[in-house]
Amino acid sequence: MEKILDIRDLHVSFKTFGGEVQAVRGVNLELYRGETLAIVGESGCGKSVTANSIMRLIPTPPGEIKDGSILFKGQDMTQLSDKEVRKIRGVDISMIFQDPMTALNPTLTVGDQLTEGLRQHRSISRKEADKQAMEMLTLVGIPNPVERMKQYPHEFSGGMRQRIVIAMALICDPELLIADEPTTALDVTIQAQILQLFQKIQKQTGVSIILITHDLGVVAKIADRIAVMYAGKVIETGTRKEIFYTPQHPYTRGLLHSVPRLDQKGEKLIPIDGTPPDLFSPPEGCPFAARCPMAMEVCTKVYPFHSKLSRTHDVDCWLQDERAKKYMASTY
């Protein structure tokens, strides 16, 4: 499988009046052609910042990519000029935002917003652009595209708007689609429809998808691989099966325990106590140590090494150390 995206040791910081927030602190991620990678984690863990960095959409200032590389098809996005980045945005990499109610410009017609990307990047006639836009609307499941093209965003429902946003993102036939919480602002029934739409589109176009979410239900439905982020770091990655059935990091386990399940009656949800660390001055050791039920002394002092459990399953945790394993075996 071809590696389409390779993020190495990405550091992103934001300068604020209170000091520098280290939102992303050494993220490593890779994405293969045609797969869906879900990035999960709680609010403020750096998942959206990571996603925005890929397209260089971090507002600078105050944000800044401090270190690391983002290789998209072998090209380092962090080194490109603004003009070169603009040629990639919307063409090779597209993005879908969380709230469809605000992602569309209220003063422009849907048709105008759909075709402007096409007309910017491909030298085609208005008529041809309209034709492609209408085909795209049909693909994402919007009936009467001819009439709908002339309408304004306020004439659509939330679910319909998200379909339009998806159509907008797909119109130039991108190779990578980044969806930042695409279903969070939608009703549950609409959520399912939108996820189905993602699957259908991926099957038809072979687009690779990065899905950012805090909803593990969404992940379970469509992700091939999962990356769990915490306090600006990826702490565990693995296939959907590996993460759901054999989670290794105590944080991943905590996340899974805090999701309601239909197949286990009467079980109480176990929340993770405490709050994530302050990223103005992140802790030296494992950022989760303060909340971790299994924390050892070493966890608060040194960041754990990277363990490879299988070709696809990686985790950053001291519990993977041989000495910890031996100790656990002797006590439990």
Partner 1 sequence: MAKYILKRFIYMIVTVFIIATLTFFLMNLLPGSPFNEERTTNEAVQRNLEAHYHLDEPLVVQYVLYLKSIVTLDFGPSIKQPTETVNSLLGRGFPISAELGIWTILIALISGVALGVFAALKHNGVIDYIAMTIAVLGISIPNFVLATLLIQQLAVNLGVLPAATWSSPQHMVLPIVALATGPMAIIARLTRSSMLETLTQDYIKMARAKGLSPAKIIVKHALKNALMPVVTILGTLLAGVLTGTFVIEKIFAIPGMGKYFVEGINQRDYPVIMGTTVFYSAFLVLMLFLVDIAYGILDPRIKLHKEGGK
Three-class DSSP category at 63: strand
Q: Of these, 154, 265, 268, 311, which contacts partner 1 (CB under 8 A)?
A: 154
Does 95 help bind partner 1 (rule: CB under 8 A)? yes
- Of 84-92, 136-144, 234-242, 245-253, which part binds partner 1 (CB under 8 A)? 84-92
Tell whether omega for the bond before 62 is within 30 degrees of 0, i.e. cis: yes
| Residue 144 CB-density burial (10 A; 0-12 exposed, 13-18 middle, 19+ buried) | exposed
Q: How far is the CB of 120 from partner 1 (least distance, A)?
A: 6
Judged by CB under 8 A, the residue of 15, 87, 308, 325 near partner 1 is: 87
Residue 24 bridge partners (DSSP): 12
Is residue 53 close enough to count as binding partner 1 by CB under 8 A? Answer: no
> Is position 287 an interface residue for partner 1 (rule: CB under 8 A)?
no
Pick from 99, 128, 215, 321 the residue near partner 1 by CB under 8 A.
Answer: 99
Taking CB under 8 A as the binding criterion, the range among 85-93, 203-211, 227-235, 279-287 that sits at the site for partner 1 is 85-93
With binding defined as CB under 8 A, does residue 122 bind partner 1? no
Q: Which of 188, 147, 144, 138 is nearest to 166 (CA)?
A: 138
State the amino acid at position 138 in one-letter form.
Answer: T
Q: Please report whether residue 27 would count as binding partner 1 according to CB under 8 A.
A: no
- With CB under 8 A as the contact rule, which of the stretches 11-19, 103-111, 238-246, 297-305 interacts with partner 1? 103-111
Instruction: Return left, alpha or beta for 8; rule: phi > 0 is left, psi -120 to 50 is alpha, else beta.
Output: beta
Contact status: 86 vs partner 1 (CB under 8 A): yes
Look at strands 63-72 and 3-16 and give their pairing: antiparallel
Helix, strand, coil percentages in the chain from 3-state DSSP, rounded to 5: 40, 25, 35
Residues that bind partner 1 (CB under 8 A): 55, 57, 86-91, 94-95, 97-99, 102-109, 116-117, 120-121, 152, 154, 165, 168-169
